[in-house]
Chain A
Amino acid sequence: MKDDHGPSGMKPWLHGRKPGDRRIRVERPHAEYFRYSEPGTLVARESASAPRTATGRAVEKVRYTLFGRRLSIDEDVNERLSKKKALAIFSSDAISSSAYATEEILRVLVLAGAAALLVSIPIAIAIALLLAVVSISYRQEIFAYPSGGGDYAVARANLPGIFALIVAGALLIDYVMTVAVSTSSAVEQVISAVPDLEVWRVPIAAVAILLIMLGNLRGLRESGNIFAIPTYVFVASTLFMIVVGIFRILVLGEGQPPPEPLPGAHDPMEVLGILLVLRAFASGSVALTGVEAIANGVPAFQPPESRNAAKTLTVMALLLGVLFVGLTIVADGFGIVPVDEPAVKTVISQVAATIFGNDTIAFYFYQAFTAMILFLAANTSFNAFPRLAAILARDGYMPRQFSFRGDRLAFTSGIVILAIAAITVIAAFGGVVTALIPLYAVGVFAAFTIGQVGLVRHWLRERTPGWRKKLSINAFGATLTFLVFVVVLVAKAPTSLLIAVVVPLMILVMVFIHRQYEASARHLAVRPDYVVPPPRREERVIVPIPGINRAVIQAINVGRSIAPDVRAVLISDEPEEAAALRARWERQIPDVPLVIVESPYRALVGPMLSYLHVLDETWPEDREAPVTFVVIPEYVARNWWERLLYNQSANRLRRALIGRPHTVVVNVPYRREGDVDGDHPEPPAPASS
């Protein structure tokens, strides 16, 4: 096939196989970057977002390596989950809390000695009953709000706005604490297996969070397969451990009496009072964290969504209850208490060592899967926090960038902020789970309570069939969770009170942001019935110049295209040079007046601003103030080091002018295109502005 040119000489002819068969390829200039989805509507291709400079391409390569290729909005995967997969995904947070909830009870009770440890079982059962009540309440929420959204959506729909903000603040903190506690606990499981890593506790946790963050920035989804294996292996092996443990305790009589009190502990009978029991209960109630996850994600279930979600919630609550109470019974039966010296040995790791044998492969596998489910629990917050932040941003309570999705369809800002917050919390508390727990449960129970109260209002308003029964359940749930909230707040004071300070602060910030957005929206709003007339204000152009050069001439020409009233202004501290420039200016650019402002104090920006001020002052009062265009000539730097050499004065002037009333700043970049003949009278058209 040979090409030649048609008669017009514009389009190349392509010859076919047979004589006379010719065709012409028609150019479609938009096709490289866009396609039309309908007349007047363009869809940008990936190439439209591709960087066009060498530096940009280098940065893009690094981004590609770290985060993968850009994803189109069409590639957003909305996986509909079966009950089995949903159980794995939504339960990892709740079920994983059984890995540390028992330990937190024992850590309180052990202070009161051996006798006190026996109280751990009734406390665990009480928490399991609380779990049952909360789960039943959430079943109601699943059916009442099948579109998901959780307690924030319920509060927003049914209660005054402040309650929704309380829920939002509490949940955001809860998600941060889920990451911090789950990761710290996972690291403790690792240290329990490999004690030498004790000194690296915080760095390991930080690296783990950064890796999870990176995975989420790459667009890691809550894929059922990723979650299923660790979750089900953990659940199955823990159930096995509990069954074997109870068999050995009850049938084989291998149980051991609880050990002696820790050094420095008070007399058990003296200390074991109601406060200690309440503190143990408050510590153990962290087991309930994550129970709300299924109610938040109802739309992700396969149809019938609500029924499947409700069934999954029931199974999750049963599993969590059995694991939590079972582990507490086994730990109690074998007299296991938490060990912190020389390296941490978690209760669950000691149970595993007792059942599987210390230093066995089964033990290490179990520890690995326990750590894995805890890391997955942390990962669930990396999905929930950014989503809630995005909803809040869309509602105008958080900065809008939280609602923007990055190249990989992830809510980048939310993910990064969550990681930073969680690492900060871990570093502040040394990565010790027990130190973090008092901060954890407070927010969760606040959200539980407000969500249930919101549902009570919902049933009162809707009065659907059976509403009285449903209302009673939610009212009972609200009362109970409120009592637990108070218990946790008081029993875990003073650390828990930190939340009582942080949540109101967050609400204040959210209200402030909301008011700012509302004010700007009111200010920017255009009435729908307003027909925009042509501009009526007069316009004038000021071109600050350093002398006569191609960039200046280009800026003058741009100014002429804006308005006929154009004047050049030279701020000079050299009167003789200025006079010489005036002579040259009047010869070369005679139709544009030049104003010379002598600046004996050598300032540039100040005299220019003052000159503009004087111009405004001298404008006739009976005429509307004109729009002043300040057209700044700029030389486009070709290298990074050229940026240091040029445009510093222009940059200062631009910064000073931004925000000035009735003033528009126009940058006119002059791009050097290879070597040019200095005698060309007319510079090329501006590259961009």
Chain B
Amino acid sequence: MPESGQIVPFRKAVLCLNGGPTDDLIVHLGCQLAKPGNAELVAVHVIEVDWRHELSEEMTSQNDAASAVLDRAEGIAERYKIKLSGDLLQAREVAAALVDEAIELDADAILIGLPYRTRFGGDFALGPTVPYVFQNAPCQVIVLREPVPSSGERRDTRAEAVPPKGRFGFR
């Protein structure tokens, strides 16, 4: 932290998006943190390709949904007047791809969302991605856990982000 006491969190940050409930929170937070220092944001969405498919295989329906997520992030950033570019990746391991992309982009922060999930309705489940990023990212990592939803309030925005097939002009 600079001596003046003003926080300059980063100059370039990777926002990890997955079409989940924390996406908007992450983008808003990223924009707010980027605003004072006019930092650059890169929204990264990784499509996990399982071993039944070639890594290079065209995952059309998932790509459309992921692209819509990035477009939405770009729309939010435009309102903040923050430079945000979208990066759509296919990989076997989401967490590794996120860290590798942050390294390649020379980002000095990774912002990642953590949905409030419980294992079989019991203990809080951290999932595999966040611990991997914690362990392997060379830059600072900011994790934003979504507010604990009250029962029945939980909604998954991934369903909303999936565009209907055949209506996209370019895809």
Interface residues of A (CB under 8 A from B): 1, 6-8, 10-11, 13-18, 20-26, 28-31, 34-37, 39-40, 42-43, 72, 74-75
- In the complex, B97 has a CB within 8 A of chain A: yes
Please give the distance in Å from A234's CB to the nearest CB on chain B: 36
Q: How many inter-chain residue pairs (CB < 8 Å) link A and B?
A: 98
Q: Which residue of A lies closest to B101 (CB)?
A: A23
Closest 6 CB pairs of A and B: A16-B100, A6-B56, A23-B91, A39-B163, A35-B71, A26-B88
Are the C-beta atoms of B55 and A36 separated by less than 8 Å? no
B96 & A21 in contact (Cβ 8 Å cutoff)? yes
CB neighbours of B169 from chain A (8 A): 30, 40, 42
**In the complex, what distance in Å separates the CA atom of A23 from the CA atom of B67?**
17
Chain B 89-133 per-residue mask, 1 if CB under 8 angstroms from chain A, else 0: 111110011011101100000000000000000000000000000
Give the Cβ gap from A77 to chain B, nearest Cβ, in Å.
12
**How far apart are A545's CB and chain B's nearest CB, in angstroms?**
35
Whether the Cβ atoms of A23 and B163 lie closer than 8 Å is: no
Stretch in B12-20, B26-34, B72-80 with 4+ CB within 8 Å of A: B72-80
Within 8 Å by CB of B100, from A6, A17, A40, lies A17
Residues of B within 8 A of A23 (CB): 46, 55, 89-91, 96-97, 100-101
Q: A14-B100, A22-B92 are in contact. Are A8 and B67 (CB under 8 A)?
A: no
CB-nearest residue of chain B relative to A42?
B169
**Complex-state Cα separation, A35 to B103, whole angstroms:** 26
List B contacts of A25 (CB < 8 A). 87-89
Given A24-B91, A25-B88, A26-B89 in contact, is the A18-B163 Cβ separation under 8 Å?
no
Report yes or no: A39 in contact with B68, Cβ–Cβ below 8 A.
yes
Known: A6-B55, A16-B97. A24 touches B71 (CB 8 A): no
In the assembled complex, the Cα of A43 lies from the Cα of B71 at a distance in Å of 10
**B54 interface residue per 8 A CB criterion:** yes
Q: Interface on B for A, CB 8 Å cutoff?
A: 46-47, 54-56, 63, 66-68, 70-71, 74-75, 78-79, 81, 85-93, 96-97, 99-101, 103-104, 136, 163-164, 167-171
In the bound complex, CA of A31 to CA of B92 (Å): 24
A14 adjacent to B104 (CB under 8 Å): yes
Once bound together, how far apart are the Cα atoms of A259 and B97, in whole Å? 91
Residues of chain B within 8 A of A8, CB atoms compared: 54, 56
Q: Is the CB of B70 within 8 A of A31?
A: yes
Which of A1, A11, A37 has a CB less than 8 Å from the CB of B71? A37
A8 to B66, CA, bound (A): 22
Question: What separation, in Å, do the CA atoms of A145 and B11 have in the docked complex?
Answer: 50
**Residue of B71, B78, B85, B171 with most chain A CB atoms under a 10 A cut-off:** B71
Distance of A37 Cα from B169 Cα, bound (Å): 13
Chain A residues positioned under 8 Å from B74 (CB to CB): 31, 35
**Docked-complex contact B163 and A36, CB < 8 angstroms:** yes
Assuming the contacts A22-B55, A40-B168, asked whether A74 and B96 have C-beta atoms less than 8 A apart, the reply is: no
User: Which residue of the partner chain B has the closest CB to A75?
Assistant: B81
- Determine whether the beta carbon of B92 is less than 8 Å from that of A6: no
Residue of chain B at shortest CB distance from A34: B170
Q: Which residues on the A side are within 8 Å of B100 (C-beta)?
A: 1, 14-17, 21, 23
Q: Which residues of A contact B163 (CB under 8 A)?
A: 36, 39
Among B54, B63, B101, the residue within 8 A (CB) of A26 is B63
CB distance from A478 to the nearest CB of B (A): 47
B66 to chain A: which residues have CB within 8 Å? 26
Cα distance A22–B96 when bound, in Å?
A: 9
What is the bound-complex CA distance between A30 and B54, given in angstroms? 25
B168 touches A28 (CB 8 A): no
Contacts known (A6-B54, A16-B96, A28-B86); A40 close to B104, Cβ less than 8 A: no
Residue among A11, A14, A39 with the most chain B CB within 10 A?
A39
Within 8 Å by CB of B56, from A10, A15, A18, A30, lies A10
**Minimum CB distance partner of B49 in chain A:** A24
Docked pose: A26 CA to B167 CA in angstroms: 20
Select B55's contact among A16, A24, A37, beta carbons within 8 Å.
A24
What's the Cα separation between A554 and B170 when bound, in Å?
A: 26
**A11-B56 in contact given A37-B75, A39-B168 (Cβ < 8 Å):** yes
* Chain B neighbourhood of A72, CB < 8 A: 78
CA distance A46 to B128 in the complex (A): 39
Cβ-closest chain B residue relative to A8: B56
Hey, which chain A residues are within 8 Å of B68, CB to CB? 36, 39
CB proximity of A521 to chain B, nearest CB, Å: 29
Nearest CB of B to A17, in Å? 6
Given contacts A21-B97, A23-B89, A39-B164, A30 and B78 within 8 Å (CB-CB): no
Q: Report B72 CB to chain A, min CB distance, Å.
A: 8
Please name 11 pairs of A and B residues whose Cβ atoms are closer than 8 Å in the assembled complex, sorted by A: A7-B54, A10-B56, A20-B92, A21-B93, A21-B96, A22-B92, A23-B91, A23-B96, A28-B88, A29-B170, A37-B71
Looking across the interface, which residue of chain B has its beta carbon closest to that of A1? B104
Complex contact B67–A36 (CB within 8 A): yes
Q: In the complex, A203→B103 CA distance in Å? A: 61
Q: Are A43 and B75 in contact (CB under 8 A)?
A: yes
A-B contact sample (17 more), CB < 8 A, given A29-B170, A31-B86: A1-B100, A6-B56, A10-B56, A13-B55, A14-B100, A16-B97, A17-B136, A21-B100, A23-B89, A23-B96, A24-B55, A26-B88, A28-B88, A30-B171, A35-B74, A36-B68, A75-B81
Known: A14-B104, A23-B89, A24-B56. A39 touches B97 (CB 8 A): no
A14, A24, A30, A36 — most chain B CB neighbours (10 Å) = A36
Q: How far is the CB of B93 from chain A (nearest CB, A)?
A: 6
Q: Name the residue among A8, A11, A28 with the largest chain B CB count within 10 angstroms.
A: A28
Q: How far is the CB of B73 from chain A (nearest CB, A)?
A: 9
B96 touches A18 (CB 8 A): yes
A154 smallest CB distance to B (angstroms): 36
Give the nearest-CB partner of A9 in chain B: B56
Q: Which residue of A lies closest to B171 (CB)?
A: A30
Residues of A within 8 A of B55 (CB): 6, 13, 22-24
Q: CB distance B67 to A28 under 8 Å? A: yes
CA–CA, A35 and B70, complex, Å: 9
Chain A residues with CB under 8 A of B47: 26
- CA distance in complex: A1, B86 (Å): 20
Q: Which of B56, B75, B93, B171 contacts A7 (CB 8 A)?
A: B56
With the chains together, A197 CA to B119 CA distance in Å? 85
Which residue of A24, A35, A40, A74 is within 8 Å of B90 (Cβ)? Answer: A24
* In the complex, chain B residues whose CB is within 8 Å of the CB of A16: 96-97, 99-100
Q: Name which residue of chain B comes closest to A37, CB basis.
A: B75
B103 contacts across to A, CB distance below 8 A? 1, 17
Bound complex: CA of A240 vs CA of B39, how far in Å? 51
Cα-based distance from A22 to B79 in the complex (angstroms) = 34
Which residue of the partner chain, among B75, B81, B99, contacts A35 with CB atoms under 8 Å?
B75
A620 to B56, CA, bound (A): 60
Q: How far is the CB of A50 from chain B (nearest CB, A)?
A: 16
Residues of A within 8 A of B167 (CB): 39-40
What's the least CB distance linking A674 to chain B, in Å? 28
